[in-house]
């Protein structure tokens, strides 16, 4: 019995020790867990404070022009806020960072809060492309800057970019400057520079450039009015197959004499063949002032010219030379060194120098060039028809008197013509300014 009690007592003691030990160990472990939890919380607070401090430092740096910080913030916001990402990319882009500029070209169109996002993306695309100094990109960027498309208006920077493109020979830029320097919104108009840029476009064999140069001579924009020079540049554009130039060349010939009216009839006929809507009615009106034999000759000339113009490109002065010989016309030709000066850009920046060149151009004499690419046999036939008309009119005094009266009427009608309709239709790009 005593041995059993002793055994149970020992077991109870051991069990009590185990329980006490287990409780002590658990208490120690709970204490350690609590301590670790407190340490973790404290570490998280410290880490959060460090993160907040780092972000505040990054924002401070970004606000003070640190590009890397701006890019970092923008990249973070791409996942949460496109608008904020664009904000910081724009900051970096303003410091000429190409990564930011490319990002803006990519992101702006996806900003749901910006209705002008598509335009802004296109603007930044041109900013990136213009870094390569390609004329088309420079012109497009300048156009966006002048017209405030996708960006705030910056006329000075825009015109500077367009001038660079124009000096590289980009015709669209030359035409834009030709319009800009006489545009109503331009407070510093320079008609002489407008004339110079239009001539440079014309020298590049551009139809619009030729027509706009003719308009300068017809209206006295930057240069003295000169009918012969206006006709020359219109006929150069007409040789390129422009129905509008052919129509205007015809109108410029009206109101002088029967010979010029016959040439007008030729150009009206060709313009009609090239699809000009009102050329036919104008041609029929002009026919009232041309004798029947002259009409037949003019129709023959028009048919020959049309056959030439159908096959573009046509060699320079081919049709002009033909008309000169058939109608005994003394045509203007620009002096070559003047054109070379214009091509070199001497009208683009120096008004005094431009004035001198324009003066030299004004002193150029009209010349009659005898050569032509048209066959001599065909040309002789046309000349004979034209001469029959001239001889017939000179032999009939009554007919001459009638012709004189008709020409006087034609001159009056020419002076009363509303040129705005035709010329303005060629300048619709001015509406973009």
CA-to-CA separations, 11 to 18, 21, 22, 89, 319, in angstroms, rounded:
10, 15, 16, 78, 131
Burial of 32 (0-12, 13-18, 19+ CB in 10 A): exposed
Other Cβ atoms closer than 10 A to 217:
24
Q: What is the pLDDT of residue 1?
A: 59
74 lies in the same domain as 93:
yes
Give the model's confidence band at 7: pLDDT under 50 very low, under 70 low, under 90 confident, else very high. confident
68 lies in the same domain as 160:
no
| 73 within a domain of the structure (yes/no) | yes
Give the contacts of 74 (CB within 8 A, at least 6 positions apart).
Answer: 84, 85, 86, 87, 88, 89, 92, 100, 103
| 23 within a domain of the structure (yes/no) | no
Q: What is the pLDDT of residue 141?
A: 97
How far is it, in rounded angstroms, from Cα 268 to Cα 251? 8
| 372 within a domain of the structure (yes/no) | no
185 lies in the same domain as 272:
no
| 398 within a domain of the structure (yes/no) | no
Residue 424 reports pLDDT greater than 70: no
Could you tell me the residue range of the domain that residue 104 belongs to? Answer: 36-109
Residue 25 reports pLDDT greater than 50: yes
Give the model's confidence band at 384: pLDDT under 50 very low, under 70 low, under 90 confident, else very high. very low
Lowest mean pLDDT among 17-31, 50-64, 89-103, 348-362: 348-362
How many Cα atoms are found within 13 Å in the side-chain-facing hemisphere of 254?
Answer: 27
Using the 3D structure, point to which of 206, 225, 244 is the last residue of a domain: 225
How far is it, in rounded angstroms, from Cα 43 to Cα 191? 74
88/37: higher pLDDT: 88
Q: What is the pLDDT of residue 347?
A: 53
Cβ pair 264, 229 in contact under 8 A = no
Kindly report, residue by residue over 282-306, the tens digit of the pLDDT: 999 888 888 788 888 999 999 999 9
Q: What is the pLDDT of residue 264?
A: 94
Q: What is the pLDDT of residue 294?
A: 83
Kindly report, residue by residue over 334-369, the tens digit of the pLDDT: 887 777 776 665 654 433 344 444 444 444 444 443
Q: What is the mean pLDDT of the chain?
A: 80
| 397 within a domain of the structure (yes/no) | no
Q: How many structural domains is the chain composed of?
A: 4
CA-to-CA separations, 28 to 22, 23, 35, in angstroms, rounded:
10, 9, 10
- Tokens linked to 338: 């003047």
User: Closest Cα to residue 272, out of 244, 251, 295?
Assistant: 244
383/316: higher pLDDT: 316
How far is it, in rounded angstroms, from Cα 303 to Cα 330? 22
157 lies in the same domain as 54:
no
Helix (H, G, I), strand (E, B) or coil at 332: strand
Helix (H, G, I), strand (E, B) or coil at 194: helix
Cβ pair 253, 261 in contact under 8 A = yes
Element counts in the chain: helices (H) and strands (E): 21, 0
Burial of 69 (0-12, 13-18, 19+ CB in 10 A): buried
| 206 within a domain of the structure (yes/no) | yes
Q: Which residues of 84-101 are buried (b: 16+ CB within 10 A; e: fewer)?
A: ebbebbbbbbeeebeebb
DSSP string, 189-216: --HHHHHHHHHHHHHTT-HHHHHHHHHH
Give the model's confidence band at 60: pLDDT under 50 very low, under 70 low, under 90 confident, else very high. confident
- Tokens linked to 395: 């032999």
Q: What is the pLDDT of residue 335?
A: 82
Using the 3D structure, point to which of 100, 135, 168 is the last residue of a domain: 168
Using the 3D structure, point to which of 344, 374, 408 is the last residue of a domain: 344
Lowest mean pLDDT among 13-27, 46-60, 112-126: 46-60
Q: What is the pLDDT of residue 307?
A: 95
231 lies in the same domain as 221:
no
Kindly report, residue by residue over 121-146, the tens digit of the pLDDT: 999 999 999 999 999 999 999 999 99
How far is it, in rounded angstroms, from Cα 223 to Cα 230? 11
CA R_g for the chain: 41
Q: What is the pLDDT of residue 342?
A: 65
Kindly report, residue by residue over 67-80, the tens digit of the pLDDT: 999 999 999 889 89
Give the contacts of 212 (CB within 8 A, at least 6 positions apart).
Answer: 175, 178, 179, 198, 201, 202, 426, 427
Kindly report, residue by residue over 163-217, the tens digit of the pLDDT: 999 999 999 999 999 999 999 999 889 999 999 999 999 999 999 999 999 999 9
| 353 within a domain of the structure (yes/no) | no
177 lies in the same domain as 234:
no
User: Closest Cα to residue 207, out of 274, 259, 145?
Assistant: 274
How far is it, in rounded angstroms, from Cα 304 to Cα 307? 5
Residue 398 reports pLDDT greater than 80: no
| 359 within a domain of the structure (yes/no) | no
């Amino acid at each position: 019995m005593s041995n059993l009690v002793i055994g149970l007592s020992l077991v109870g003691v051991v069990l009590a020790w185990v329980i006490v030990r287990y409780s002590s160990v658990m208490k120690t472990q709970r204490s350690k867990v609590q301590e670790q939890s407190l340490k973790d919380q404290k570490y998280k607070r410290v880490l959060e404070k460090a993160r907040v401090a780092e972000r505040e430092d990054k924002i401070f740096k970004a606000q003070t022009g640190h590009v890397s910080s701006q890019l970092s913030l923008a990249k973070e916001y791409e996942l949460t806020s496109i608008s904020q990402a664009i904000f910081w990319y724009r900051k970096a882009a303003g410091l000429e960072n190409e990564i930011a500029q490319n990002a803006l070209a990519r992101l702006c169109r996806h900003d749901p809060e910006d209705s002008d996002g598509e335009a802004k993306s296109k603007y930044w695309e041109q900013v990136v492309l213009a870094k390569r100094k390609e004329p088309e990109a420079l012109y497009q960027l300048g156009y966006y800057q002048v017209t405030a498309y996708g960006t705030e208006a910056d006329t000075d920077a825009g015109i500077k970019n367009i001038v660079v493109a124009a000096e590289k020979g980009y015709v669209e830029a030359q035409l834009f400057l030709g319009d800009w320097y006489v545009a109503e919104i331009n407070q510093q108009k320079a008609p002489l520079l407008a004339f110079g840029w239009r001539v440079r476009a014309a020298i590049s064999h551009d139809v619009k450039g030729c027509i706009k140069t003719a308009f300068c001579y017809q209206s006295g924009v930057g240069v003295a009015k000169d009918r012969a020079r206006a006709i020359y540049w219109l006929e150069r554009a007409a040789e390129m197959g422009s129905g509008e130039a052919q129509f205007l060349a015809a109108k410029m010939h009206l109101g002088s004499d029967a010979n010029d009216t016959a040439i007008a009839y030729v150009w009206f006929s060709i313009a009609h063949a090239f699809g000009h809507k009102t050329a036919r009615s104008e041609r029929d009106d002009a026919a009232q002032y041309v004798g029947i034999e002259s009409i037949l000759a003019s129709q023959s000339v028009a048919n020959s010219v049309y056959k030439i113009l159908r096959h573009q490109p046509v060699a320079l002065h081919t049709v002009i030379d033909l008309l000169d010989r058939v109608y005994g016309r003394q045509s203007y030709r620009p002096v070559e060194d003047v054109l070379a000066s214009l091509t070199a850009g001497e009208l683009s920046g120096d008004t005094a120098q431009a004035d001198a060149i324009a003066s030299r151009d004004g002193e150029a004499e009209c010349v009659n060039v005898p050569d032509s690419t048209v066959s001599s046999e065909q040309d002789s036939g046309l000349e004979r028809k034209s001469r029959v008309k001239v001889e017939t009119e000179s032999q009939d005094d009554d007919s001459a008197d009638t012709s004189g009266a008709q020409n006087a009427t034609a001159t009056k009608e020419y002076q009363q013509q509303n040129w705005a309709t035709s010329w303005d239709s060629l300048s619709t790009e001015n509406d973009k300014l």
